Amino acid sequence: MIPVLVFGLPVMAAWVWLRRVPCLRSYERTGAAVLFGVAVPSIVYITWRFSGGSVDAYRTADPVLWLIVLTAGTLAVPRRSGARAAAAFGRGTIGLAIVAGLLCVIYLPVVREHLRATPHGAWDAWAIWNLRARFLAGPGDAWRAAFDDALAWSHTDYPLLLPATVARAGCSIRPRPP
Amino acid sequence: MAAIAASLAWAVVHSWRGAVPADPTVDALLRSYLSVAPVLPPDARVGFLPVTADPTLATTTHFLAQYALAPRVVDLEFRDVALAVTGPGAPPAVDEDARLVGFELILVSDGGVRVYRRRP
């Protein structure tokens, strides 16, 4: 249930607000909603931590914030007409969606097998991305240490989108004791 | 298209057969470091002493120590550290290492990770 809230609410909120962009077809809007629904909460999380917000408070604030954004979008953005949406979702698109869905189903066991074999990921995961995420999800000002000179080998100049996404999910879904 | 289909088929067949090998080294190392985490404050800087001559393994043990002990900073250079840990399986002779002058041994974990604290 919590993962659904963590990832589902921002994606749904983005999907609703993207109705304001009339040139987007349904599948484009869905793709953009996933993109924004992952990226924007990560930016919010980083901003929250950098401005001194605690992990514990964020755990409560996050679903509340995205519920408000979703509700505001539902009330403020008018629905598209059904005919227009159907026209935007043509036969070719449905075929593409079926192929994409099949590929996802086929790849599920591949993903499951890799998660079993390497629960912490491969070298780059624990040396760079998940390592940075652990700092960003740490207590108090622990995130500052993520940029310590002693960690230069872990490419401290790399962008924070991925680690922030992992940190946000980690602190909301499965908090880790320090 | 054929290449995509072939790579897809390869990945599916191998995953169904459980062909992705689990890496026991990573899990074992992480468990060793996590066992000493409770005696290290979350905001501590911790010196790190690799105890293997193999440079690849030394790098791996260092990176995994940092990953397991984050948000503590694990420093090979021992800059401003009040605590230090070794890699797993460290022999008692490592206590005599020049970098540990002024430190005292406070814990040896089941996995052989030795933890030191700077003497007051």
**Does residue A11 belong to any structural domain of this protein?**
yes
C-alpha dist (Å) from residue B94 to A85, B51, B108: 70, 8, 12
How does pLDDT run across B7-61, given as a tens digit for each residue? 777 766 766 665 555 566 788 889 999 999 999 999 999 999 998 888 888 898 9
**Does residue A178 belong to any structural domain of this protein?**
no
Any idea where the domains of chain B sit in the sequence? Answer: 23-118
**Does residue A69 belong to any structural domain of this protein?**
yes
The ipTM (two decimal places) reads: 0.82
CA distance B9 to chain A (A): 9
Range name among A7-11, A70-74, A123-127, B21-25 with the lowest pLDDT average: B21-25
Q: Are the beta carbons of B11 and A110 separated by less than 8 Å?
A: yes
Domains held by chain A: number: 1
d(CA A5, CA A12): 10
d(CA A67, CA A13): 8
How does pLDDT run across A26-60, given as a tens digit for each residue? 888 989 999 999 999 999 999 999 999 988 899 88
Identify all chain A residues contacting B66, using CB atoms and an 8 Å cutoff: 131, 151, 154
| Structure-token match 């996404």, residue found | A165
According to the model, what pLDDT value does residue A107 have? 83
C-alpha dist (Å) from residue A127 to A140, A146, B66: 22, 12, 8
Nearest residue of A to residue B12, measured between CA atoms: A110
How does pLDDT run across B59-75, given as a tens digit for each residue? 989 999 999 999 999 99
**Does residue A99 belong to any structural domain of this protein?**
no
Q: Give the structural domain span for A71.
A: 2-80+118-172
